[in-house]
Structure 1
Amino acid sequence: MRLHRLAVTAFGPFGGTQTVDFDALSAAGLFLLHGPTGAGKTSVLDAVCYALYGSVPGARQGGGQGTTLRSDHAAPATRTEVTLELTVAGRRLEVTRQPPWERPKKRGTGTTVDKAQTWLREYDAAAGTWKDLSRSHQEIGEEITQLLGMSREQFCQVVLLPQGDFARFLRADAEARGKLLGRLFDTRRFADVEKRLAERRRATETRVRDGDAALLADAHRMQQAAGEAMELPELAPGEPGLAEAVLSAAAVARSTAREQLTVTACRLAAAESAQAASGRALDDVRELARLQRRFADAREKAARLEQGADAYRQAQALMERARKAEAVAPALDLRESAEAEHRRAADAEARARALLPERFAAEGAAGLAAAARRAAEELGGLDSARRAERRLAELHAERIGLDRQERADADLLQEAEAWLDGWEETRAALQDRVETAQRAASLAEQLAVRREPARQRLTAARLRDQLAEDTERAVEQVRSAQQAALRAQQHWLELKEQRLTGIAAELAAQLSDGEPCSVCGATEHPAPARKVAGHVDREAEERALAAYRRADEERAGHEQRLGVVREALAAATAEAGDTPTGQLAREAEELEQQYAHARGGAAELHAAQERLRQAGQEHERRVAARQETAVRAAARVGHRERLDRERAALQEELDHARGALDSVAARAAQLQRRTALLTDAADAARAAEDAAQRLKDADARLADAAFRAGFETPQAAADALLDPAAHRALQHRLDAWQTEEAAVRAVLAEADTAAAARQPPVDVESAEQAADLAARRVREAASAHDAAGRRCAELDRLSARAAQAVRRLAPLREEHDRVARMAGLTAGTSADNERRMRLESYVLAARLEQVAAAATARLLRMSSGRYTLVHSDDRTGRGRSGLGLHVVDAWTGRERDTATLSGGETFFASLALALGLADVVTDEAGGVRLDTLFIDEGFGSLDDQTLDEVLDVLDALRERDRSVGIVSHVPDLRRRIHAQLEVVKGRSGSVLRQRGTG
């Protein structure tokens, strides 16, 4: 990565536009960025970082973006902007960023906020022009990060070497070094491996315990199924030997259950045999009792039949007389039907004659038919008169319609004249409403532009207030977590000290007579140490250590959450500013009310325009209606005269046809009713004559049929007839008597029934009680046998389930042992990990070893061959090993801690470490070439000779085509470095001046 040009406007201390030509500065290889304190040297580096990542380095970002980046010296109408031109990965790019800007409104008073803007362009060497790539913040951020291969934190640590950071790195403990290296080299994936293995260890341990618990639960179920004949092992889930103990106890319970099943089967067979014998005896007794009851019932029925013999003979005589009368029944039915038909015909004739005038009372059927024909002929002659009457009604309706139309036209003409008289005033009022609505619409558009920024700022202010409260709570949580972690650490250290003091007692507990001591090798142990009260074993120490780790992890989590809340608070403050939330809410509410009022007025625009258009159409319609009314009035005069002439002719024709009635229709209805009545009366007279003849014929046939059947009169035959229901009832009585008599004779003739009747009565109840007792004993034996069978089946099922569970648990136990060993090894808690080094620390130690080697190459030159940086795996204090950093002094030949270096030695050692770290991080990031580096302060602590040696090392970077910018206000550097970028401070803001660049 090589920087070419930087342009800043209204950024930091720079009120106007300042440009830096890095190509000219980098030509000398080494250049100086100097100026008085507070002039803005570091702001140049902030501008580079902001152009690439959209934010400044973490220690200086404050509010992060927006108004905190803007210069206080800038004019109100000048927008903050940073443009950086650079070459990376063979591509020449230009990045332009503008943070959010609160500017004065173009119209009216007050301010409005413009959103942040970002542009990315690439130089096309073939065309010699710049082409746009993107305007999206997210796309540009991803593109820059991918090309550089570094995050913002890595860039600020590698390219913008910060003042004091590496001095602290030299003096830091292993934990602090681990955090910095972890951010630079992104070793989170190794920490995730540790976490994943720990989670897998807990998961497999839980699965094993759950499996043992399920197995023990099955054992309890087997104990319940077997009763009290099974003893469970006194082992807890997870303890060895539980599976074997459960399977052995299950085998004993299954054997006992099968013996009980055999005993209950023998009892069931004996009870079933006794039940069969009692059942056969009960059947014999019940059959003898049935035969005795059968003979007694037959004797009683025979006596009842003898008493009813007379009634049976009378019923037989009645049935014989009814059969003879059935031959006369058709003639009776025919005569009854003829009589009913004659009565209906006579009644109908009387009703029809009652409706006729008196002059037709003596007329026969032929006379009535002739009168009906004459009335129908007269009715046919009135068709022409009816048409004339209908036409006369139509003429009358047309005349009424003409009168109604004339009155309507008069009203319409009067209304149109009145409406047209006020047209000009109406049109002017509607036009005024349209213009008022248009002005409201214009105002609503202006207010709509201001609404969204006001709402966003109000939302940010509310979030700012909430985050301020969250920050206070998070600070308190961090303070509490830090205190808890310190207490847990102190407790662990105390327990560890106590355990080290009593370790001799643990070793003595392992001694045996005749066996050599693992410490001194002696086979005699005359006075082994004894555990005292309050002895701390390894398990107690490990529990304290685990509690300390949990407290430390909780503290780190709270600190991380505090950082996130603070970043969010800074972002919200940048967007909302310092204006109180209540004031922003009132401003937003006032703006919303103005917008709602303006929008309500604008909403009337369409309606007002529509009413104006409708009023114009109404004006045209009214004018046209007035003209049409005049034309219709002229046409109505001739139409009315034609109607009057036709009406007079038709009235004369109708007066002749109506006669004495009011209308032709009334005359036609009169003739129609007369024709219908005469026709009905003629038909009724003919029907009555026919019915009288049929009744006479039916009387003759009935008399002849009664005589042939043997009855003296037809009425006697009718009396002898039975209706179907009575006939069926009488026949049923005769059949039932005969059937019952035959059945009684058959029962009394049975030999076995008669023999049973001669024996004494039997005792059925005693036999039933004996059979019930035998059945109850069978049920009890069967229930016991079924229970024993179910017990055997349940024990077999649970035993098979337990055996299957034991087979499933075997690989789970193996997996748990394997994962537990790996998790302990990567977490540094396993005995196999001698240096107690975590996996992440191991990877960081390798990176630190590379950094120390790369830094030593430059430190030897800066210290005239005296100092060398080396990486150490030794444990520091009671912590873990892997991240130690020592310096070797060639003058004394001793290795000592980097914290013992003097101020000047610490500076050039940290500078060498920073340059070495830049090389390693560059290689780690994929070999991205870093052609421009910046070093911020620290040279004032060096003497002249050391300063020359340091500058020689930095100047040697040109061999790798690098340029180094030194940020310092040391006067001696101005004489030694010719290429300079000076920051000049003034009342109107700072300005940049380049010197010694040709």
Structure 2
Amino acid sequence: MRLHRLSITAFGPFGATQEVDFDALSSAGLFLLHGPTGAGKTSVLDAVCFALYGAVPGARQSPGASLRSDHAPPGLPTEVQLELTVGGRRLEVTRSPSQPRPKKRGEGFTMEKAQSRLRGYDPERGWHALSTSHQEIGEELTQLIGMSRDQFCQVVLLPQGDFARFLRADAEARGRLLGRLFDTRRFAAVEERLAELRRGAEAKVTAADERVLALAQRTAQAAGPAGVEAAPVTARPGEPGLAEAVLAWAAIARSTARERLDTAHAALAAAEGRQRAARRALEAERELARLQQRYAETLRRAEALEERRGEHDACQERLERARRADRVAPALELREEAERAYRAASDGLDRARSLLSPELRDAGADRLAELERTFQQELYALDAAREDEERSAGIDGERLRLNREARADDELIRDADAWLADWDTTHTALKERVDASQEAATRAEQLAGLLAPARRRLDAAHRRDALAADVRQAEDRLTGAREQELDARKSWLDLRERRLRGIAAELASGLVAGEPCTVCGSAEHPAPASPGDGHVDRATEERALAAQRSAEEARAHAEQQLGRVRERHAAAETEARGDDGHTSFAVAELQSLADRLADEHAEAHRLAAATNPAREALAAAEREHAERLERRQEAHGRMSARTAAREALDAEQARLAERIAAARGASASVAEHADRLTRRVARLADAATAVHAEQEAARRRKEADDRLSDAAFKAGFDTPEAAAATLLGAAGQRELQHRVDAWQAEAAAVADRRAERDAREAAERPAARPEAAESVHETAERLLREAASARAAARDRCAELDRLSEQAADEVRRLGPVRQEYERIARLAGLAAGTSADNERKMRLESYVLAARLEQVAAAATARLRRMSSGRYTLVHSDARTGGRRAGLGLHVVDAWTGGERDTATLSGGETFFASLALALGLADVVTEEAGGVRLDTLFIDEGFGSLDDQTLDEVLDVLDSLRERDRSVGIVSHVADLRRRIPARLEVVKERQGSSVRHRL
């Protein structure tokens, strides 16, 4: 990575825009960044870090701190712009922090959001925008640089004060710094993961132990307060022997519970015997009390029965009189029925006489019957006349029917004649329609054979035109690929030629003092060649060769694509030419041909579809022709028959008219005359019947009076009226009978109960005491329940203890693999964390990795420290433990003058400076290699030179000047005056009232 140009505007102490030309400063290889204290030397480096990462190093990016200069005018925005080359790309990054700006309207300020812009430079296109996203720009630059912000600030901006503290720091402080520079988070994550697994496994073991202890507590609860004298288990979760103690204690609890169950069985048997004896005594007392109470109740019922004897006798007498009156009831009902029949017959006779003529209202039954017979005979004589009248009406109906049929046949004959008149024309048209449909079917088959090839040619023409455009595009891609291949080949040949011209400098870069040259074999190299402007190294040539080969492959791929597209285009062209293989039509012509054939085919198909309907229409017309001829002939025959029938009906109707006129007399019709006679006969018959009914009802009423008087006398009643007054209904008699039966049943029951021997004997005994027997029985029941409950509790306790013991055994079996897994993970976690006895030096895994990195840093730093100290000092890594702390990150210095090894904290001020400088440069090399070998062409070293004497300062500057031999530029940040004389290329930061400014001294 090389810095080219830095522009700072309203940033830190710089109130206006300041330009830093790193290309001009780097041309000398070593340049000085100096100025008075507080002028802003470090702010220049902060601006570089802010441009690359959007933040400044360390504590200067504290919360609430502002990067905007207090000297800047309100309208000038804060902005940092850096131009650099990294990863073979020239970029320009511009960043502006969040800052207040004057409002465009009104007074006051508004907060402007932070902005970022990234541009790239292309020799052909010039500068072009790449992104304006903070996240995209940050990811792009971090990927190209290969380092985080902390690594960049430690490697490119070498802070000597930090490395002086690093030399004197303990292992923990060194670990924190190295952990930031070398991404060892994955090893720390491994430690944390193992610790997490250990905690998880420990939690599983503890949980399993707690479950076992919980089962032990539940076992103790199930055993009861008198189950086991000793406490179940005194061990805590995680302690060894817990599972075995729980299982042993559970076995003791089960044995004790079984002994208590046997005792409960014996107690229950004794309680059952006492309960049976108490129950028998209670039953005997209850039976004695029942019999005594039964005898006393019998005496009370006998007394009550004697008190109701008079009521019983009255009911008995009344019931007997009602039963005697029941023998008179049928005669009474017959008399009432005869009276009702006589009144009905008398009313019927009055209504029938009112319908007769006045002279017949007083006539007797014989007279009325004689008149009825006379009129009935006359009515019978009208039956033949009524039949003649009905036949005459039927003849009129038949004549109307014949007239309707005649009109229908006339209409049928006229319609048939009209239809048959056009038969020849209709028949010819239908036959022509059938012939045309058959011809259309033949034409449709021919057109179908032409339409499918026409459509295939149309589809092929579409593909041909589309593929023609693909051919042109493939040809354009092939032309571009060939041009790119020629350009890549020309670029590779040019670079190869330039490398060959500067091959001497490339060979000279591999020369080592004291070792023979690979070209001439000499061990001395007085004037090795140096690379000139535009030198090309091997890697550049190889990249150009790879680009040329990639372009060649792209060209071959384009040729293959063009060949495939041309083959498909030729196939489509052949198919579009048709059967002749010569004529090629355009898509529009083929589309027109296909549309025309499709329309003709559709029309022919439509006509052909009418073939069957046309044939069916012809057959139907022929059938209709035959049917109409037949119906016309039949109609003519029916007309002749109707003429003869009509003449016969006229003659018959004339004869009937004469007989009807003689029979109907003065009435309008025979039916009217017969209806009048029928009504007269019916009235006479009703009157005669009513006379007979009235006479019969009077006779039955007299007979009923005689039977009623006789029945009342026989039943013992003086008059029928007395018998009627004594009658009771069925409900009344049932009520009296129930009362009589109830008294008699109660008397029988009392007699039976007074005859009971056991009740009489029980009454003679002392009074029963069931309450005392009940109390004794309840006590026995309670004791039995308590014994049964105790026995059930003991049985349940044994079952529960068996179940809990089985669960405890299962938990112990499952705990075995979990405890083994925990012990294995705990050993690994302790080894990685440095707490295990197997880790002799108590070194954490991350410390172990950092120790390897520190060993590399010490080796890289020693190469420069020896030169700075004239071969006296060497930095070595130490993994010894000090003060009981963990080992791994110790750093010692070996003094060649004394041969002793001591801690770096014992170095003097000047020795500490060049040791820390050597350590910083070595760390930069290792971090660079760790980051993927990104080349760092610009370095900055901050302060510390004031503690060196002249000789040591010369040696340090020689070491820094050696960095320039590798085409690096080193910037020294210092205010030491002697460095201005030794380093001609300088960038001065001047502190002024209006803000700091920079000046180039070249």
Partner residue of 2:352?
none
Q: Measure, in 1, the Cα distance between the counterparts of 2:20 and 2:28.
A: 15
Relative to structure 1, the CA distance from residue 776 to residue 144 in structure 2 (aligned partners, 3 Å threshold; closer, same or farther) is same
Relative to structure 1, the CA distance from residue 165 to residue 759 in structure 2 (aligned partners, 3 Å threshold; closer, same or farther) is closer
Partner residue of 1:167?
164
Partner residue of 2:234?
235
Q: Measure, in 2, the Cα distance between the counterparts of 1:139 and 1:717.
A: 131
Give, in angstroms, the shift of residue 882 of structure 1: 1.9
Report the 3-state secondary structure (helix = DSSP H, G, I; strand = E; otherwise coil) of the residue aligned with 1:237: coil
Partner residue of 1:182?
179
Is 1:795 aligned to 2:801, yes or no? yes
Q: Measure, in 2, the Cα distance between the counterparts of 1:34 and 1:860.
A: 28
Relative to structure 1, the CA distance from residue 318 to residue 942 in structure 2 (aligned partners, 3 Å threshold; closer, same or farther) is farther
Give, in angstroms, the shift of residue 259 of structure 1: 2.7
Give, in angstroms, the shift of residue 846 of structure 1: 2.1
Cα pair 1:315 1:730 within 8 Å, conserved: no
Partner residue of 1:924?
930
Q: Measure, in 2, the Cα distance between the counterparts of 1:734 and 1:240.
A: 99
Q: Measure, in 2, the Cα distance between the counterparts of 1:744 and 1:851.
A: 133
| Greater displacement, 904-913 / 730-739 | 730-739
Q: Measure, in 2, the Cα distance between the counterparts of 1:266 and 1:716.
A: 89
Counterpart among 830, 839, 849 of residue 845 in structure 2 = 839
Relative to structure 1, the CA distance from residue 202 to residue 745 in structure 2 (aligned partners, 3 Å threshold; closer, same or farther) is same
Relative to structure 1, the CA distance from residue 317 to residue 77 in structure 2 (aligned partners, 3 Å threshold; closer, same or farther) is same
* Amino acid across the alignment from 1:182: G
Is 1:57 aligned to 2:54, yes or no? no
Counterpart among 720, 735, 738 of residue 738 in structure 2 = 735
Q: Measure, in 2, the Cα distance between the counterparts of 1:90 and 1:813.
A: 58
Cα pair 2:855 2:877 within 8 Å, conserved: yes
Relative to structure 1, the CA distance from residue 236 to residue 315 in structure 2 (aligned partners, 3 Å threshold; closer, same or farther) is farther
* Amino acid across the alignment from 2:315: Y
Describe the superposition over 1:30-76 as per-residue Cα deviations: whole angstroms up to 9, x where unpaired.
3333445444332221111121223322254567653x53151x333
Counterpart among 118, 122, 138 of residue 115 in structure 2 = 118
Partner residue of 2:312?
309
Report the 3-state secondary structure (helix = DSSP H, G, I; strand = E; otherwise coil) of the residue aligned with 1:835: coil
Relative to structure 1, the CA distance from residue 265 to residue 62 in structure 2 (aligned partners, 3 Å threshold; closer, same or farther) is closer
Give, in angstroms, the shift of residue 90 of structure 1: 4.5
Report the 3-state secondary structure (helix = DSSP H, G, I; strand = E; otherwise coil) of the residue aligned with 1:79: coil
Partner residue of 2:11?
11
Unaligned runs of 5+ in 2: 341-696
Q: Measure, in 1, the Cα distance between the counterparts of 2:283 and 2:738.
A: 36
Cα pair 1:305 1:741 within 8 Å, conserved: no
Report the 3-state secondary structure (helix = DSSP H, G, I; strand = E; otherwise coil) of the residue aligned with 1:265: helix
Give, in angstroms, the shift of residue 966 of structure 1: 2.4
Report the 3-state secondary structure (helix = DSSP H, G, I; strand = E; otherwise coil) of the residue aligned with 2:226: coil
Instruction: Please show how residues 410-421 of structure 1 align to structure 2 within 5 Å.
Output: none
Query: Across the two proteins, how many residue pairs are aligned to each other?
Result: 622
Give, in angstroms, the shift of residue 112 of structure 1: 0.8
Q: Measure, in 1, the Cα distance between the counterparts of 2:57 and 2:910.
A: 26
* Amino acid across the alignment from 2:960: L
Give, in angstroms, the shift of residue 749 of structure 1: 6.3
* Amino acid across the alignment from 1:312: C
| Greater displacement, 846-855 / 794-803 | 794-803
Percent identity among equivalent residues? 64
- Flag the structure with larger Rg: 2
Describe the superposition over 1:282-331 as per-residue Cα deviations: whole angstroms up to 9, x where unpaired.
667766876786677667366567454224325636976998999999x9
Describe the superposition over 1:433-474 as per-residue Cα deviations: whole angstroms up to 9, x where unpaired.
xxxxxxxxxxxxxxxxxxxxxxxxxxxxxxxxxxxxxxxxxx
| Greater displacement, 888-897 / 770-779 | 770-779
Cα pair 1:220 1:232 within 8 Å, conserved: no
* Amino acid across the alignment from 2:885: G
Counterpart among 757, 779, 782 of residue 785 in structure 2 = 779
Cα pair 1:55 1:64 within 8 Å, conserved: no
Cα pair 2:860 2:925 within 8 Å, conserved: yes
Give, in angstroms, the shift of residue 177 of structure 1: 2.0
Relative to structure 1, the CA distance from residue 846 to residue 731 in structure 2 (aligned partners, 3 Å threshold; closer, same or farther) is farther
Cα pair 1:95 1:120 within 8 Å, conserved: yes
Is 1:861 aligned to 2:867, yes or no? yes
Instruction: Please show how residues 36-47 of structure 1 align to structure 2 within 5 Å.
Output: 36-47=36-47
Q: Measure, in 2, the Cα distance between the counterparts of 1:953 and 1:993.
A: 27
Q: Measure, in 1, the Cα distance between the counterparts of 2:895 and 2:229.
A: 74
Describe the superposition over 1:477-534 as per-residue Cα deviations: whole angstroms up to 9, x where unpaired.
xxxxxxxxxxxxxxxxxxxxxxxxxxxxxxxxxxxxxxxxxxxxxxxxxxxxxxxxxx
Q: Measure, in 2, the Cα distance between the counterparts of 1:783 and 1:798.
A: 22
Partner residue of 2:79?
81
Counterpart among 110, 127, 145 of residue 148 in structure 1 = 145
Report the 3-state secondary structure (helix = DSSP H, G, I; strand = E; otherwise coil) of the residue aligned with 1:77: coil
Report the 3-state secondary structure (helix = DSSP H, G, I; strand = E; otherwise coil) of the residue aligned with 2:32: strand
Q: Measure, in 1, the Cα distance between the counterparts of 2:955 and 2:268.
A: 111
Partner residue of 2:427?
none
| Greater displacement, 962-971 / 870-879 | 962-971
Counterpart among 867, 870, 875 of residue 876 in structure 2 = 870
Relative to structure 1, the CA distance from residue 797 to residue 717 in structure 2 (aligned partners, 3 Å threshold; closer, same or farther) is farther
Cα pair 1:231 1:249 within 8 Å, conserved: no
Q: Measure, in 2, the Cα distance between the counterparts of 1:825 and 1:228.
A: 50
Q: Measure, in 2, the Cα distance between the counterparts of 1:825 and 1:752.
A: 108
Relative to structure 1, the CA distance from residue 182 to residue 315 in structure 2 (aligned partners, 3 Å threshold; closer, same or farther) is farther
Instruction: Please show how residues 579-658 of structure 1 align to structure 2 within 5 Å.
Output: none
Q: Measure, in 2, the Cα distance between the counterparts of 1:205 and 1:41.
A: 56
Report the 3-state secondary structure (helix = DSSP H, G, I; strand = E; otherwise coil) of the residue aligned with 1:164: helix
* Amino acid across the alignment from 2:793: A
Q: Measure, in 2, the Cα distance between the counterparts of 1:200 and 1:860.
A: 47
Relative to structure 1, the CA distance from residue 806 to residue 714 in structure 2 (aligned partners, 3 Å threshold; closer, same or farther) is farther
Cα pair 2:178 2:850 within 8 Å, conserved: yes
Report the 3-state secondary structure (helix = DSSP H, G, I; strand = E; otherwise coil) of the residue aligned with 2:75: coil
Q: Measure, in 2, the Cα distance between the counterparts of 1:756 and 1:258.
A: 54
Q: Measure, in 1, the Cα distance between the counterparts of 2:783 and 2:11.
A: 107
Q: Measure, in 2, the Cα distance between the counterparts of 1:941 and 1:183.
A: 28
RMSD: 4.7
Partner residue of 1:20?
20
| Greater displacement, 903-912 / 285-294 | 285-294
Q: Measure, in 2, the Cα distance between the counterparts of 1:6 and 1:64.
A: 26
Partner residue of 1:265?
265
Report the 3-state secondary structure (helix = DSSP H, G, I; strand = E; otherwise coil) of the residue aligned with 1:806: helix
Q: Measure, in 2, the Cα distance between the counterparts of 1:958 and 1:930.
A: 12
Cα pair 1:6 1:22 within 8 Å, conserved: yes
| Greater displacement, 736-745 / 97-106 | 736-745
Q: Measure, in 2, the Cα distance between the counterparts of 1:748 and 1:794.
A: 66
Q: Measure, in 1, the Cα distance between the counterparts of 2:748 and 2:129.
A: 126
Report the 3-state secondary structure (helix = DSSP H, G, I; strand = E; otherwise coil) of the residue aligned with 2:936: coil
Is 1:953 aligned to 2:963, yes or no? no
Cα pair 2:160 2:920 within 8 Å, conserved: no
Report the 3-state secondary structure (helix = DSSP H, G, I; strand = E; otherwise coil) of the residue aligned with 2:892: strand
Relative to structure 1, the CA distance from residue 994 to residue 817 in structure 2 (aligned partners, 3 Å threshold; closer, same or farther) is same
Relative to structure 1, the CA distance from residue 7 to residue 254 in structure 2 (aligned partners, 3 Å threshold; closer, same or farther) is same
Partner residue of 2:94?
96
Q: Measure, in 1, the Cα distance between the counterparts of 2:148 and 2:2.
A: 17
Report the 3-state secondary structure (helix = DSSP H, G, I; strand = E; otherwise coil) of the residue aligned with 2:870: coil
Cα pair 1:122 1:133 within 8 Å, conserved: yes
Report the 3-state secondary structure (helix = DSSP H, G, I; strand = E; otherwise coil) of the residue aligned with 1:150: coil
TM-score by length of 1: 0.54
Partner residue of 2:969?
963
Relative to structure 1, the CA distance from residue 742 to residue 59 in structure 2 (aligned partners, 3 Å threshold; closer, same or farther) is closer
